[in-house]
Structure 1
C-alpha cells in the first residue's frame, strides 16, 4: 500500500515544478541546505521547523511557484509518515517494553556474567547490537551508557575500551538496519526489498561494528585515557532481578520481527512461481507492519507479563513510549518533505543527467551525497531521507540486490563524522565527561570508521552479487 501511494505521487510529479537550469538548481540545493544548517546550528531552531523553511527557500531559489513548493513538501511529508510513521511507533513500543520490563538489563547482565576481561569489548558490541535492534539510537544511549560506566568502574576497565564498542553497536544498527527510521525511509523511497536489505544490512553491519568497535577502541583508549564521571555512574538496585523476563525469551522477542522479515526474503528467493499461496502468506507475515505488530503483541506477554506488569501497567508503558517519538516523527516527515521538494524541483533528474558521464559507481555517488548532507545538517536520518530521494532515479535499471545495497550505501554515508551540529555528539561528550577535542578523537572518528568500512563492504558485495 505504501509503495503504491509513493508511486502515485511520483507519477504526479513527473513534470518538475520549476524550469530552472542545472546551475540554478544547484544553487537552490546549496541555499536550502545552508538555511537548514544555519537555523539548526546558529539559531538553535528545531529541525522540523528548519526543514520546512529550508524546503521553501529551496523552492523559491529554484523559481518554483510557492503553492507548488508547499504541495511538494506536504505530499512528501505525508507519504514518508505513511510509509514509516507506524513502524517507528511500533518500534518505540517494543523498545519501551524491553527497557521497562528489565529485559534489556537481563540481556546485559547475562552476557556480562559470562564475559571475562579480554572479551568484554566484544561482549559490549554484542549487547549493543541486540538491544539496539528495536530501539532508537538516543534511547539506546540512555539505556546502555549507565551500564558501560558501571562495568568500567567495577571491572577497572578503560572507559574507551568498553564505551566505544557499545556506541559502535548502537550506531551501526541506527544507520543500516531496519526498523530504524533512516533505513526504513530509504527503503520506502528507493522501493527496495525490506527483507533483502535487512539480510545484506546484517552482513555489512557485523564487520563494520567489529572494526569500529572492539578493534578501534584499542587506539581510542590510548588517545583518550579518562575515568568515567562519578555523577553519571548509577546505583543499580538488585531487588528487581526476580521479576525480569528470562534471557532466552527476551532475545527471542527482540529477534522475532527480524526472523519474520528474513523469512519473507528467503521465500522470495527460493519460490520461483510468483503469486503462489506460500508466497502470499509470507508477503503478509514478513511485511514490516505485521512483523513489528506481532513482536509488540508477543512482547506484552513475554516481557510485560513476565515482569509482573498488570494490564494497566502495560497500557501505561505503551502510552509513554509514544510521546517521546513525536519529535522523531516530525523530523522524519519534514525530511521526507524536503526530499520531495528536491525531487519535484528536478534535482534528482539533474543528478541522473550529470552523473551519466561520470566514471563513478552509483553506490559511491549515493554515499558521497549522504556524507555531504550529514556533514551539513548533523542528522543521520535527514541525510538518509534526502540522499535516498536524490538518487531514486538511478534505481530504474537496478536489480533487487543492488537497490538494497544502495539503501545501505546511503545509510553508511549518513553516519560520517558526527560533529558539533549533531545531538549525539553532545550526548556522548556529557555522558563520558570528555571535552570537545576528546569527543572528536573518539566518537567522531568512530562514526567516520563506520561510514567508510560500511561503504567498502557495500562495494565489495556489489562485485559478487
Structure 2
C-alpha cells in the first residue's frame, strides 16, 4: 500500500486558531527559536523547547495562559508515559554495566571471532549493548574494549570502532526502548510490537552496511589507539554467564514481541493467553519485569549484594534527568503545534501535494537534526509536527513512519552534536577525520535506514 496520506471527511483534527500564513510563521519561528537557543545561545534543549513552545502559542495569537496550558499539558502527559520507560531503561542499563554483564557479552563474542570477523563481531556487540543503553553510556562502556581489540589485532581503530558505533547508533534511532523511538511511538500512536519487529528488521541490514562494510574506510583513515587511554581494570566477584546476561537483555524485547504476536494470531481479545501476553508485553510492565529480573540475574548473580544493587539503581537516574526533561519538553512543544492547529495545516497540505509521508517524515527529522545536533530533539519535534498525518495510515505504515523519523534523526552528526566531539576525543581524531568516518557513517546509516523503510513499505 502506498504511504501517501488521504484525509477523509470528518477526520478528527484541531481547527486552526488563526490564518494559515500566521500559523506557518508561528511554527517556523518556534523551531527557529529552538535552533537559535541551542546553537548560538548554548542553551539546554529543555529550555529551548520550552521557549519554542511558548513562542508558537503567542505568535499564533493565543493568550500566554493558553500557551502555557498547552505546553504543561503536553509536558505532563509525556513525562507520565515515556518518562517512566526511560527511567526503567536507565536502571536496567546501569545494572547491566555495573554487574559486569556487558563485559561478559563483549568478551564472549570477541573471544570467538577471527581477526577478519572482528568488525562484524564489534557490530554485534554494539547492537546488543545498544538495546538497553543510551548511546553515550554504551560508547563510554565499549571504548576500552575497542582500544584493546584494535591494539591486539593490529587493525585501525576506525575499522574496529565504526562497526560498534553503527550498532549503538542504529539501536538508538530505530529500536525501542530508547527515548527517541518510544517518544515517536507515543506521539504517532504506533503499535510498539510492530515497530519493534520492523525496527529490528531495518536495523540489521543497516548496521551491516554502515558498520563492517563502511568500516573498511579504516584502511584509508588509519587511527592508532591513543596512548593516553588505557583499558581500565574492573573487578567483579563473579560475572553473570553469557547466556544469563543475554537472556536478561532480550527479556523485554521478547515480552513486547509476544504481545505483538498475540495481537496478530489470537483474534479473541478475551482469551486468557492473549490477555496475559498483552499485559506482560506492555512497555511499562516489560521493562519493570526486566529490571526486577536483572536485579537477581545480573546484580545478585554477580555478587553485588543488596546495597550494591540498590546503589546501582539509584545512580542510574541522575544521568538521564536531562533526557527526561528534553523528551517531556518535546511533548509540550508537540502539544502547542497540535492545539494551535498547525498540525492540521501540515496534514492538509501534505494530502494535497501527494508527498510520501515516509519521505517527508525522514526529511523533517533530518532538517531538525542538522540544525540542533540532537537526535532526540529531532525525533520529538518531527513526531509532534507530523502526528496528524497518521490519521489515515495503517498500523504498519505508522510504525514505518516512526522508523523513517528515527533514521532521519541520526543524519550527519557534525560540530553542533555532543556525540561528534565525544567520538572525536575518544578516537583521537582530527575534525576532518571525524567527519570522514563518524559523520559519514551516521549519514550512511540514515540513508540506508530510509531505503529499507521504503522497501518494507512496498509490502506493508
TM-score of the superposition, structure 1-length normalised?
0.94
Residue 432, structure 1, aligned to residue 417, structure 2: no
Map of 2:221 onto structure 1? 224
Map of 1:183 onto structure 2? 181
3-state secondary structure, aligned to 1:119:
helix
Report if the CA contact (8 A) 2:27-2:337 is conserved. yes
How far residue 25 of structure 1 moved from its aligned partner, in angstroms, is 2.2
How do 1:294-305 residues align onto structure 2 when only pairs under 5 Å count?
294-305=289-300
The match for 1:274 among 269, 272, 287 is 269
Report if the CA contact (8 A) 2:194-2:399 is conserved. yes
Residue 444, structure 1, aligned to residue 439, structure 2: yes
Render the CA deviation track for 1:440-463: whole Å, top value 9, x for unaligned: 111111111111111111111010
Map of 2:405 onto structure 1? 410
Report if the CA contact (8 A) 1:72-1:341 is conserved. yes
Map of 1:14 onto structure 2? 14
Map of 1:6 onto structure 2? none
Runs of 5+ consecutive residues of structure 1 not aligned to the other structure: 1-10
Map of 1:164 onto structure 2? 162
Which whole-Å CA distance do the structure 2 matches of 1:223 and 1:354 have between them?
46
Residue 236, structure 1, aligned to residue 239, structure 2: no
Report if the CA contact (8 A) 1:102-1:244 is conserved. yes
Residue 379, structure 1, aligned to residue 406, structure 2: no
3-state secondary structure, aligned to 1:294:
helix
Which whole-Å CA distance do the structure 1 matches of 2:292 and 2:381 have between them?
33
Which whole-Å CA distance do the structure 2 matches of 1:456 and 1:292 have between them?
30
How far residue 317 of structure 1 moved from its aligned partner, in angstroms, is 0.8
How do 1:313-392 residues align onto structure 2 when only pairs under 5 Å count?
313-392=308-387
How do 1:131-210 residues align onto structure 2 when only pairs under 5 Å count?
131-210=129-208
Report if the CA contact (8 A) 2:13-2:344 is conserved. no
Which whole-Å CA distance do the structure 2 matches of 1:174 and 1:228 have between them?
25
Report if the CA contact (8 A) 2:14-2:344 is conserved. no
Map of 1:3 onto structure 2? none
Report if the CA contact (8 A) 2:14-2:340 is conserved. no
The match for 1:265 among 260, 263, 285 is 260
How far residue 323 of structure 1 moved from its aligned partner, in angstroms, is 1.4
Map of 2:303 onto structure 1? 308
Q: Would the alpha carbon gap of residues 190 and 275 (structure 1) be closer, same or farther in structure 2, given more than 3 Å must change?
A: farther
Residue 462, structure 1, aligned to residue 460, structure 2: no
How far residue 273 of structure 1 moved from its aligned partner, in angstroms, is 2.4
How far residue 357 of structure 1 moved from its aligned partner, in angstroms, is 2.0
Report if the CA contact (8 A) 1:81-1:329 is conserved. yes
How far residue 338 of structure 1 moved from its aligned partner, in angstroms, is 1.2
Report if the CA contact (8 A) 2:245-2:298 is conserved. yes
How far residue 417 of structure 1 moved from its aligned partner, in angstroms, is 1.0
Map of 1:249 onto structure 2? 244
Which whole-Å CA distance do the structure 2 matches of 1:223 and 1:375 have between them?
27
3-state secondary structure, aligned to 1:232:
coil
Greater RCO, 1 or 2 (C-alpha within 8 Å, sep 6+): 2
How far residue 275 of structure 1 moved from its aligned partner, in angstroms, is 3.3
Render the CA deviation track for 1:314-367: whole Å, top value 9, x for unaligned: 111111111111111011111111111122222211111111122321111111
Q: How many residues align?
A: 450
Which whole-Å CA distance do the structure 2 matches of 1:368 and 1:25 have between them?
21
How far residue 13 of structure 1 moved from its aligned partner, in angstroms, is 8.6
The match for 1:82 among 65, 80, 83 is 80
Which whole-Å CA distance do the structure 2 matches of 1:279 and 1:323 have between them?
37
How far residue 223 of structure 1 moved from its aligned partner, in angstroms, is 4.0
How far residue 27 of structure 1 moved from its aligned partner, in angstroms, is 2.2
3-state secondary structure, aligned to 2:152:
helix
Which whole-Å CA distance do the structure 2 matches of 1:64 and 1:229 have between them?
55
Which whole-Å CA distance do the structure 1 matches of 2:68 and 2:12 have between them?
15
How far residue 113 of structure 1 moved from its aligned partner, in angstroms, is 0.7
Map of 1:128 onto structure 2? 126
Which whole-Å CA distance do the structure 2 matches of 1:216 and 1:359 have between them?
35
TM-score of the superposition, structure 2-length normalised?
0.95
Map of 2:64 onto structure 1? 66
Report if the CA contact (8 A) 2:333-2:384 is conserved. no
Which whole-Å CA distance do the structure 2 matches of 1:265 and 1:87 have between them?
18
Render the CA deviation track for 1:65-97: whole Å, top value 9, x for unaligned: 211111111111111111111111111111011
CA RMSD of aligned residues (A): 1.6
Report if the CA contact (8 A) 2:159-2:219 is conserved. no
Report if the CA contact (8 A) 1:257-1:294 is conserved. yes
Report if the CA contact (8 A) 1:195-1:261 is conserved. yes
Which whole-Å CA distance do the structure 2 matches of 1:339 and 1:430 have between them?
35
Report if the CA contact (8 A) 1:223-1:441 is conserved. no
Report if the CA contact (8 A) 1:348-1:393 is conserved. yes
Map of 2:280 onto structure 1? 285
3-state secondary structure, aligned to 1:144:
helix
Report if the CA contact (8 A) 1:28-1:61 is conserved. yes
